[in-house]
Amino acid sequence: MNTFGIILMSPLLSPSYGLIVWTLLAFLTILIILKKFAWKPILEALKERENSIQNALDAAEKAKKEMASLNASNEKILQDARMERDLLFKEAREMKDSIIAEAKTKAVVEAERLITAAREIINNEKMAAITEIKNQVATLSIEIAEKILKSELSNDEKQKTLVKSLLEDVKLN
Amino acid sequence: MRSKINTFRAFFLLLGLFCFLSINTQGEEVAKDAGHTATNDGEHEKFNAGKFIIDHVTDKYEWHLWGSHEDPTSIPLPIILYSKEKGLNVFSSARFEHGKASCNGYKLTHDGHIEAEDNAEFYDFSITKTTSEILLACFLLLWVFLTVAKSYTRRTGLAPKGLQSFIEPVILFVRDDIAKASIGEKHYARFVPFLLTAFFFIFVNNLLGLIPIFPGGANVTGNIAVTFTLAFIVLIITLFIGNKHYWGHILWMPGVPAWVKIFLLTPIEIIGVFQRPFVLMIRLFANIAAGHIVILSFVCLIFVFGSSSDLGGWLFSPISMAFALFMNAMELLVAFLQAYVFTLLTAMYFGACVEEPHHKERH
């Protein structure tokens, strides 16, 4: 027998069908039992655990993102508030300036008006006073003249003197 | 990873070749020896390494514990025979008295086979050493995984503990790195139970085979009947799950001239369908059988040296044991590796069968 023949005839290489049948039976039996009672619960439990871990990780990631967006929005609100405040300040300053300016112009106008009015009043008063004084002076002058005339013309002598002086003044040219 | 596997394969092929050659030379001696032992019964029997090794790696009708070939201490196993004439015969292998007696018209031949005394045809469904080892492995698997499954249902959502945490990485490895990686996200889930069962079945049987004493030691995955059965199941599954795309590429490969398809590609592809499980069968069988043979060879070396002089045997034993120890450690790795390779390649075949056409056909 040659080498090849010995190898082929070797009990190692001749499968016995009894063993094939038993192996088939044993393997299929444990396949069915393990599939139903071991692999199913084990794989399901693993899947479930993986899912729960994944969910937890996702939730953490989501929370982190929310936190970040919250921070960002906080920052934005703060920024807005700051801008708003600046705007308000600016507006207030402008308003103040405009109020002051307006007040100033108003005051100037009012003062001028007052001054003009005062001047007018003063003028009127002055004119009135002058008229009054004039009237008074006239009255006084008349009274004085009356008194002088009375005293001058109290006797004949005096009357004659007067006529005389008057006549002297009148130059007959 | 792939290159590592290839290196190992090359290494073991070399070892296997070496072993077959050594069996061959020993085998011729067996032929010479048969007459030799018969004539010189009383004399000190010459140690026959080839016969010893083949005895240890092939199937037996009893579980040998210790003692000589003629009068061993062994555990008898049930013999189950069926023939049309005699019907079903079930009896203990002890009734053969190690080949000295016949029972119910059957006898055990010198090379360990059962023969009918009237040369009638019969079917042999005996619980042999390998069968009982398979049954033991199955009970072990059932016990381990039902326990683990129970702890999964009892401690839902909690971190794994004890046996569970020992098994879980392997389950995840098979599911993610073998099934998901080779079959794809869409289809992998329905193959995971089969791949897990195949992986652990092969792995546990590989490991049991490495235990040299009673509950282990049977060469299960190094028995071609066992690897044939596993590969046959893989073949049947691939035949049934193949989709249109898969069969289309095998029977009528698109984009190739018709005469090339008829005379070359289609025959080759059809051979390929059967050749792939065939290679699965040979690879697992050869790797594990070779591992057993190499370890046994190192042990035998002691007795080969011892048969010429006792001193030689004693002096050589430490060297031999060192080599055997090294090989045993190597076999532990191979036990895992071969379970992995078998499962991985099975998953890849399944993956090819259910692959969706991801590119547009050119016509």
- List the pLDDT tens digit at each of the 173 positions of chain A: 466 666 666 677 778 888 899 999 999 999 999 999 999 989 988 888 889 899 999 999 999 999 999 999 999 999 999 999 999 999 999 999 999 999 899 889 988 998 899 888 888 888 888 888 888 888 888 888 888 877 777 778 877 887 888 888 877 66
Nearest CA-CA distance, residue B101 and chain A, Å: 22
pLDDT of residue B7: 53
Asked if B289 and A43 come within 8 Å (Cβ–Cβ), the reply is no
pLDDT of residue A63: 95
Q: What is the pLDDT of residues B245-258, one digit of tens each?
A: 888 888 887 887 88
Closest residue to B54, CB basis, from A11, A27, A48: A11
Task: Using a CB–CB cutoff of 8 Å, tell me whether B224 touches chain A.
Answer: yes
pLDDT, mean of residues B160-165: 84
Q: What is the pLDDT of residues B110-158, one digit of tens each?
A: 777 888 888 878 888 888 889 999 999 999 999 999 999 988 888 777 7
Sign of CA dihedral B286, B289, B295, B297: negative
Main-chain phi, psi angles of B103, to 5 degrees = -140, 130
Task: Using a CB–CB cutoff of 8 Å, tell me whether B265 touches chain A.
Answer: no
Rg from Cα positions in chain B: 24
Q: For B20-29, B124-133, B177-186, which range has the lowest pLDDT when averaged over its residues?
A: B20-29
pLDDT of residue B283: 93
Q: How far apart are CA B239 and CA B251, in angstroms?
A: 13
pLDDT, mean of residues B215-219: 83
- The residue ranking higher by pLDDT, B39 or B289, is B289
B-chain residues near A20 (CB < 8 A): 225, 228-229, 232
pLDDT of residue B111: 74
Q: How far apart are CA A162 and CA A156, in angstroms?
A: 10
pLDDT of residue A26: 93
pLDDT of residue B163: 85
Whole-structure pTM value:
0.72
B-chain residues near A39 (CB < 8 A): 145, 149, 192-193, 196-197
Q: What is the pLDDT of residues B86-113, one digit of tens each?
A: 888 888 888 887 777 788 788 887 777 8
pLDDT of residue B25: 39
Among B7, B13, B8, B3, smallest CA distance to B338 is for: B8
Pairing mode, if any, of strands B78-83 and B123-124?
antiparallel
pLDDT of residue A9: 63
Mutate to test the interface with B, among A42, A43, A44, A49 (most CBs of B within 10 A): A42
The winner for highest mean pLDDT among A139-148, A156-165, B166-175, B304-313 is B166-175
Asked if A37 and B54 come within 8 Å (Cβ–Cβ), the reply is no
Q: Kindly tell me if the per-residue pLDDT of B16 is higher than 60.
A: no
Q: What is the DSSP string of B150-166?
A: HHHHHTTTSPP-THHHH
Distance of CA B270 to the CA centre of its chain: 26
Q: Kindly tell me if the per-residue pLDDT of B359 is higher than 70.
A: no
Task: Name residues whose C-beta falls within 8 Å of residue B298's C-beta, 6 or more positions apart in sequence.
Answer: B320, B321, B323, B324, B327
Structure tokens at B322: 């060192």
Mutate to test the interface with B, among A10, A13, A23 (most CBs of B within 10 A): A23
Asked if B197 and A30 come within 8 Å (Cβ–Cβ), the reply is yes
B-chain residues near A17 (CB < 8 A): 123-124, 225
Asked if A14 and B224 come within 8 Å (Cβ–Cβ), the reply is yes
List residues of A whose CB lies inside 8 A of any B CB: 3, 6-7, 10-24, 26-31, 33-35, 37-43, 45-46, 48-49, 52
Percent of chain B with pLDDT over 70: 85
Task: Using a CB–CB cutoff of 8 Å, tell me whether B88 touches chain A.
Answer: no
Do B160 and B168 meet the contact criterion of CB atoms below 8 Å apart?
yes
- The residue ranking higher by pLDDT, B162 or B177, is B177
Asked if B59 and A16 come within 8 Å (Cβ–Cβ), the reply is yes
Asked if A43 and B146 come within 8 Å (Cβ–Cβ), the reply is no
Percent of chain B with pLDDT over 90: 32
Do B51 and B26 meet the contact criterion of CB atoms below 8 Å apart?
yes
Q: Kindly tell me if the per-residue pLDDT of B17 is higher than 60.
A: no
Closest residue to A27, CB basis, from B21, B201, B223: B201
- The residue ranking higher by pLDDT, B361 or A17, is A17
Q: What is the pLDDT of residues B284-301, one digit of tens each?
A: 999 999 999 999 999 888
Angle (deg, nearest 10), helices B266-308 and B244-251: 90
pLDDT of residue B23: 41
pLDDT, mean of residues B208-235: 89
Task: Using a CB–CB cutoff of 8 Å, tell me whether B281 touches chain A.
Answer: no
Coil vs helix vs strand at B63: strand
Identity of residue B269 = E
B-chain residues near A6 (CB < 8 A): 23-24, 27
Task: Using a CB–CB cutoff of 8 Å, tell me whether B205 touches chain A.
Answer: no
Average pLDDT in chain B: 81
For chain A, the domains span 38-172
pLDDT, mean of residues B48-70: 81
Asked if B125 and A34 come within 8 Å (Cβ–Cβ), the reply is no
